[in-house]
A and B are shown apart, each in its own frame.
Chain A
Amino acid sequence: MMNFLQTEKRIAQLLVVAALWLSAWNDTRAVAVEGVIELRVQLRGLFAKDRIDDFQKLCDDKLSKYGLAEVDYDQAEALFRFDPSKAMPGVGEKDFIAVLDNEVRNATRHTFSVRERRVIPIDQLERIEIQIEGLDCKACSLAVYELLISCPGVELAYASFKEQKGVALVERGKFDLAATKKLLSERGVRLPSEAKK
């Protein structure tokens, strides 16, 4: 009986640990030793691979207290390690992301932002590619990206005039391609052909 209880208790403890782990994985935060936490967030503005370097440089220059540890381009996520008592004194845990988002926006002139991680796994998203034509210009690509990512149903987006395409990873059934293309056209983006899935 004792063994059973101990086993049950151990299982319960394992479940709690597993739950905490899952929670940490999903809720973006994990408490580490000596007051340093890890904060994993969705990173917006990562519309092309060379933006990783841009973000890292900006963080090194202006946001070093938040300790950018990692940028995951495929998931469009960033991991920060920092001591909240030093980086965000007086800020409650529930406001960590909001405060970080504000700082990221200000430091990057609103070309990057952070938010809670996505809930829907990436393999459940539909990939839409839209052919675009324009100047090989990073700021123009940002404009397309921001338009795509703001469309309903879009979870992830990429844009590159160099590759002449915009990519949207969308929640099935919630994305209106025609409306998006209309918006792109209105923004001045030339669309040479139909989008392909």
Chain B
Amino acid sequence: MLFSKRHSIFPLSKSLSIRRFVSSLFGIVIAFGLIHAIASASCFGQEKLQEIDRAHIQTYCVECHSGDAPDGGLSLDSISDALEDQDQFRKWTQIYDRIDRVEMPPKDSKQPSEQERAELLSQIKQRLLQAEAKRWSSESRTRLRRLTRAEYENTMRDLFQLPGIHLQNELPPDGSAHGFDKNAEALDISHVNMAKYVEAADKVLDIAIAVQPQQPATKVQRISLANPPGFVAHVLMHGDGVLLKNKQVDPEFPAPDGHVHIDQGAHERMGSFHNGASVGLFRHEDESFHPYFNEFVAIYPARYKLRTSLWSFQWDKGKILPSRGTEVARLSIVQLTGDGRGGGHPSSMLVYLDAPSLQEQAHEVETWLNPRETIGFNAASLVTGHTRGEGGVMNFTGPGIVCDYLDVEGPFYDCWPPQSHRVLFGDLPLVEFKQEEHPNVRPPKHNPFRQQLFMGKNQADPVSGVWTVQSEQPTRDAENLLRKFLPRAFRRPVSEEKIQAYVAQVKFRLEQGDCFEVAMRWAYRLALCSPDFLYHVETFKPNTKQIDDHSLANRLSYFLWNSLPDETLIEKAASGSLSDRAELSREIERMLNDPRSNRFVEDFLGQWLKLRAIGMNDVDRNLYPEFNVFLQDSMILETKAYFREMISKNLPASYLVKSDFAMLNEKLAVHYGIDGVVGATVRRVDLPPESPRGPFLTQAAILKITANGTTTSPVPRGAFVMDRLFGQPPEPPPANVAAVEPDVRGATTIREQLAKHRNNIVCASCHSKIDPPGFALEAFDVIGGQRDRYRSIGEGEPAPRGKIDPLIGIGFKLGPQVDSTGETPDGRKFASIQEFQQLCAADEDRLSWNLAKRLATYSIGREVSFSDRDALDEILEEAKKEKAGLRDLIHSIAEHELFRTK
């Protein structure tokens, strides 16, 4: 694969003049300059190199790249061959790539022969490899790196079997290098990190250690959506919802008919909101309306079961009629801050649930809740009904979603003391600490669990006395406990010396008068803040450059689970069986099939496709009034489900850009104009051949991420496609060139503006590659809807409603026609997004190569450098022996030598 040509779908167009590619020549000029540098190196024959060098320079380069004003601002005389300089190295790598992709010399220029090109590439490659080899001889390639925030949280969750504790948001943000936060270059550490690690360790230990002899009682609390601490009771007074009994308006709480209910307090005292009535809502959650079930506020961190009953209806001026279809409601977990009052507390989506027409559907969801967390509700598929005008809700016709109740049952534990406690103290008994029996021992200071917020009606179980673990042989028990805990926490065998060092810490604290729990806690906190825990410490097999099996198990686990290895993986590492490729392959299969692999999906997509940034731009509601949080959540679910499906069905990289199916729920299907999908569940939907939907390229999530909420521009979208999907990131724009600002008034199209922009010769060469994919994606608006015309808030014609909800007001107009046609730099034309997808899918090798590179970078925690390219080629070749699908690719990476070396 030494001279493999990774042909781009965007080589330079024949039709473009030499002058428009002056800056492109930059590369070839540098390339031949490099030959000159190579000539001075001892590894090649100087005479021969000089001959080639001179010949090429004279033939192809000097004319443009010499003199006082060399094209591209580059003179051959200024080329540096100091490849230990990373900037120079990066430039040479780009030069190599452009020659390799036959982008240079420009096709309308005189071309070197194939032999000349191959020789030239070989020489550059050898020189770059030598430079890297020299660099790596003095430093480790995968440097020691700490856990990322996500890794830290997952590791703590799995170590203590506390699957829902929140930690990562309490730690300083990680940086990013080479596209991922898993790279040592992005993971510095400071005193702030350390202080936060100490806090986080204390928080985990507080939660993990049992402080009462009996398991907290499991109780069921039924909560009405109209519970007064939430927001719903207030809006019911005004008719944004109704109370229902037997699918009719509750006669004790008539629907506002222009008159509204007065004095919410009087209604609360009269029991209007606690009389067993169901709550029908006509509006979704928004900035001023946050329905919470906060008569329940979690006290104990544990598992809970949530049960609810939902249905929907069409409200017609007081009549309850069948609804337009299955509506959808969202439950979320809300972290109540401060005193818990008001709305807008941080929350995370838990689940979307169906509410069928006039038919109650019971749902049960199991989830972990932390102290101060409650459940939020959103009538997600609704828009805000106009219920407050003349005649009130009795003059309103529109859809409603009914919540009959929410039952919260819990807390649930697998055993007591819980597993988190047993990880720390095994089966040592919990006893009441009596000071008189231990006059010289300091008791533990516990903060008993209690209801922290006044609105929470659930209360903690009373606990009398101070309960703590009892050890008859503290030193021996400490040693036994630490001998078990430390290897698990450090993810590898721990030396006897290190274990004894921790035991000594316990002994010291015991001598200082601490009780056993406090002394052990001291040692555990030390361990959880130590480099052994916070860093990925990788060790070699004896006399090899391969990492040992424990390190391999860790790499595998943090690649596919983003967390520490489980017992099975550790056992296989300890037995040495991971060295067996078949066994390793079986483990990879097991891990990919485990739900923990969803963490990989989330973490990888969050960075590779910037899915974490989907909420970073606010959508202009004047232009896109149909956008809401349900649509955005559906977008995220689609992208994750699609990647999951690619893994599951082992689909090839062409599915990044073209697909015959999509992962949709009803919300997205309507958004995409696809019929026949009902309900909240995302599922695989087969597409007609002409549909552009399905792949990442045309997913609404990606289209939103690459827009700014108001307008689209071919530039960021094109750059995203070139970088993230094809692995050809464009150079940053020159500093002195103004950005192109789309015109939301509808007077000019972005294409017209870019045409002017490309007249600037400095801009033309890059834009010839960036713009075509961007033009193709102009077929989609900022929220991923397909369009023929731009939306405008200025000039334009009245816009038809289309599939926009009839209750949504439309203020935008139809502006200029969208032109999504284009031409790749090598002259291949496309008339539509579908044709563009065909061109992209034909470049499967490049898509695969980039995907492999991204996965490798993510999995080994370092840049995949120039000298790793052969390894990547081997990985792809190996994957091609099977179906060359994503699953094969993951196997191939994790089983390759690249994955086993530092």
A residues at B contact (CB < 8 Å) = 108-111, 133-140, 142-144, 146, 187-190
Contact = CB atoms under 8 A, between A and B. Distances in A.
Interface in B240-265: 252-254, 256-257, 259-263
8 contacts: A109-B268, A111-B270, A139-B253, A139-B261, A139-B266, A139-B272, A142-B266, A187-B263
Contact of A143 (B252, B257, B266, B271): B266
Contacts of B260: 135, 188
A142 B269 contact: yes
Nearest to B273: A139
B267 interface: yes
Interface in B262-287: 262-263, 266-272
Contacts of A139: 253, 261, 263, 266-267, 269-270, 272
Nearest to B252: A138
Contacts of B256: 135
Top-8 shortest CB links A-B: A143-B263, A139-B270, A139-B267, A143-B266, A188-B262, A109-B269, A134-B259, A142-B266
Contacts of B257: 135
A134 B262 contact: yes
Given A137-B272, A188-B260, A189-B262, 6 more contacts: A109-B268, A134-B259, A138-B252, A139-B263, A140-B263, A142-B266
B270 A187 contact: no
Nearest to A144: B262
Given A142-B266, A143-B266, A146-B266, A137 B271 contact: no
Contacts of A189: 262
A190 B257 CA distance: 13
A3 B298 CA distance: 83
Contacts of B262: 134, 140, 143-144, 187-189
A140 B264 CA distance: 9
Given A135-B254, A137-B252, A137-B254, A142 B270 contact: yes
Contact of A109 (B253, B261, B271): B271
A190 B266 contact: no
Nearest to A133: B259
Interface string B494-538: 000000000000000000000000000000000000000000000
Nearest to B262: A188
Q: Which of A133, A135, A146, A187 neighbours the largest number of chain B CB atoms within 10 Å of its CB?
A: A135
Nearest to A145: B266
A108 B270 CA distance: 8
Contacts of A146: 263, 266
A16 B252 CA distance: 52
Contacts of A133: 259
Interface in B677-723: none
A110 B268 CA distance: 10
A106 to B, nearest CB: 11
Contacts of A144: 262
Given A140-B266, A142-B270, A143-B266, A135 B252 contact: no
A130 to B, nearest CB: 14
Nearest to A187: B262
B245 to A, nearest CB: 15
Contacts of B253: 137, 139
Given A133-B259, A188-B260, A188-B262, A138 B254 contact: no
A181 to B, nearest CB: 15
A135 B259 contact: yes
Contacts of B261: 135, 137, 139-140
Interface in B542-595: none
A140 B272 CA distance: 10
B228 to A, nearest CB: 11
B100 to A, nearest CB: 76
Nearest to B265: A143
B215 to A, nearest CB: 32
Contact of A111 (B252, B254, B269): B269
A147 B256 CA distance: 21
Contacts of B252: 137-138
Contacts of A190: 259
Nearest to A188: B262
Contacts of B272: 137, 139
A110 B269 contact: yes
B270 A138 contact: yes
A133 B259 CA distance: 8
B256 to A, nearest CB: 7
A108 B269 CA distance: 8
Most chain A beta-carbon contacts within 10 A, residue among B252, B253, B259: B259
A165 to B, nearest CB: 15
A102 B256 CA distance: 34
A136 B254 contact: yes
A138 to B, nearest CB: 6
Contacts of A135: 254, 256-257, 259-261
A193 to B, nearest CB: 16
A69 to B, nearest CB: 25
A111 B260 CA distance: 21
B589 to A, nearest CB: 60
Contacts of B269: 108-111, 139, 142
A133 B252 CA distance: 17
A146 B261 CA distance: 15
A136 B263 CA distance: 14
Contacts of A187: 262-263
B357 to A, nearest CB: 28
Nearest to B255: A135
Contacts of B270: 109, 111, 138-139, 142
Residue of A138, A139, A189 with most partner-chain B CB within 10 A: A139
Interface in B727-765: none
A111 B267 CA distance: 10
Contacts of B267: 137, 139-140
Nearest to A147: B263
A146 B267 CA distance: 12
B204 to A, nearest CB: 42
Nearest to A146: B266
Contacts of A136: 254
A131 to B, nearest CB: 14
Task: Determine which residue in B256, B261, B268, B270 has the highest number of CB atoms from chain A within 10 A of its CB, and name it.
Answer: B270
A59 to B, nearest CB: 16
A135 B270 CA distance: 15
Contacts of B263: 139-140, 142-143, 146, 187-188
A98 B476 CA distance: 64
A10 B254 CA distance: 64
Contacts of A111: 266, 269-270
A30 to B, nearest CB: 32
A135 B318 CA distance: 14
Contacts of A134: 259, 262
Nearest to A110: B269
A160 to B, nearest CB: 14
B31 to A, nearest CB: 80
Contacts of A188: 260, 262-263
Among A109, A136, A137, A144, residue most surrounded by chain B Cβ atoms (within 10 Å)? A137
Nearest to B267: A139
Contacts of A109: 268-271
Nearest to A109: B269
Interface string B308-339: 00000000000000000000000000000000
A76 B535 CA distance: 76
Nearest to B251: A136
B351 to A, nearest CB: 34
Nearest to B274: A109
A77 B262 CA distance: 27
A188 B270 CA distance: 18
A142 B269 CA distance: 10
Q: Taking each of A136, A142, A144, which has the highest tally of chain B beta carbons within 10 Å of its own beta carbon? A: A142
B41 to A, nearest CB: 89
Nearest to B257: A135
B360 to A, nearest CB: 26
Contacts of A108: 269
